[in-house]
Amino acid sequence: MIEDKNPQRTSIAQLGEFGLIEHLTKNFQINQTSTLKGIGDDAAVLNFKDKKTIVSTDLLIEGVHFDLAYMPLKHLGYKAVVVNVSDICAMNAKATQITVSIAVSNRFPLEALEELYEGIALAANEYKVDLIGGDTTSSQKGMIISITVIGEADENEIVYRNGAKATDLLVVTGDIGAAYMGLQVLEREKQVFQVNPNSQPDLDAYTYLIERQLKPEARKDVRTLLHALEIKPTSMIDISDGLSSEIIHLCKQSKVGCNLYEDKLPLDPQFINVCEEFDIDSTTVAINGGEDYELLFTIPIDNFEKIKGNPNFTIIGHMTEETEGIHLVTRANTKIPLKARGWNALSE
């Protein structure tokens, strides 16, 4: 669908591997002083001086992690960078470089890769990360993208998953669940399209949800916001698999329990409306849906005054002793054990 829209099809083989890399990467600039050598040698060279280096990597497989029927390649490139940068944000660090490795089958023309790299370039520019290398190869079937992101932080700034204390508050940024409902909308439209290729979907009522699915952003602002409030989280994680599963990660690694309050969950009005339209329980989606790329963190309770009422943050619960377990406290004030259903279980 995406590929056929493009009338121009230049075969990748025409350029050769070196020509292809050169063509795709020629417009990228170096912004970070820590990048001493980027693309063009056998390896990149970085210099972080007295900073600690933070590294994370993600592998994306067509048909498993993305579907090109409704994911334009430009969005895919953007999102692939964002999900990596989000992991660096979740360490309370600053993303500085990426490497991008791709494997493509001969089904993809040069124009498709140009689109992908346009998205990568947009994100690299938005998050000020330098593209410093990668690898390019062919695949038998479909597209594979692997991105590695590198970041920097002062040693004392870094926040791990294992520092939460039993009296801490649990805080989330932004709102949650929208990306999952965006995917539901897109999947419904894909099915309509398969039945009637001339259908013109009216997606106005879903713009926020679709944007959350197709063009998520990493919360690079949170580090600065918290710094200004003089708050250092005791533990932090990004929400890629769903709130429940991320809470369980924080609890297990920090050896604490948690009470999460249903009535505190930050939900967008469009999200609530579309859950009603799909006849899905909004709390279930908010805690089990994934791909919101918001940050979830814990702070000492004496930071309450600093954070309360701040539009960027919502206090959604508090940590407890480990023996008390991990629970959702419902609006009816009953306690239900939280389960790590996560993204995959929901979408199966």
Q: C-alpha angle with apex 265: 209 to 258, nearest 5 degrees?
A: 130
Instruction: Determine whether the annotation assigns residue 292 to a binding site.
Output: no
Q: Which residues of 257-289 are buried (b: 16+ CB within 10 A; e: fewer)?
A: bbbbbbeebbbbebbeebbeeeebebbebbbbb
Q: Which of 2, 15, 30, 39 binds ligand ADP (CB under 6 A)?
A: 39
120 DSSP 8-state letter: H
Instruction: Determine whether the annotation assigns residue 58 to a binding site.
Output: yes
Strands 256-261, 326-329: parallel, antiparallel or unpaired by DSSP? parallel
In the list Mg ion, ligand ADP, none, the entry touching 201 (Cβ below 5 to 8 angstroms by class) is none
Is residue 16 close enough to count as binding ligand ADP by CB under 6 A?
no
For ligand ADP, which is the closer residue by CB, 39 or 229?
Answer: 39
Give the C-alpha separation, 121 to 81, whole Å. 9
Is residue 42 close enough to count as binding ligand ADP by CB under 6 A?
yes
What is the contact mask toward Mg ion in residues 109 to 138, using x (rule: CB under 5 A)? --------------------------x---
Strands 35-37, 256-261: parallel, antiparallel or unpaired by DSSP? unpaired
What is the contact mask toward ligand ADP in residues 105 to 144, using x (rule: CB under 6 A)? --------------------------x-xxxx--------
Residues with Cβ within 8 Å of residue 120, at least 6 apart in sequence = 77, 78, 80, 81, 100, 131
- Both tokens of residue 337? 């054990």
Minimum Å gap between C-beta 102 and Mg ion is 11
Is residue 40 close enough to count as binding ligand ADP by CB under 6 A?
yes
How many residues form the binding site for ligand ADP (CB under 6 A)? 15
For ligand ADP, which is the closer residue by CB, 116 or 274?
Answer: 116
Q: C-alpha angle with apex 239: 233 to 240, nearest 5 degrees?
A: 145
Place of tokens 């430009």: 74
For ligand ADP, which is the closer residue by CB, 38 or 342?
Answer: 38
In the list ligand ADP, Mg ion, none, the entry touching 133 (Cβ below 5 to 8 angstroms by class) is ligand ADP
Binding residue ranges for ATP: 117, 134-135, 161, 240
Where on the chain is the footprint of ligand ADP (CB under 6 A)?
18, 21, 25, 39-42, 100-102, 131, 133-136
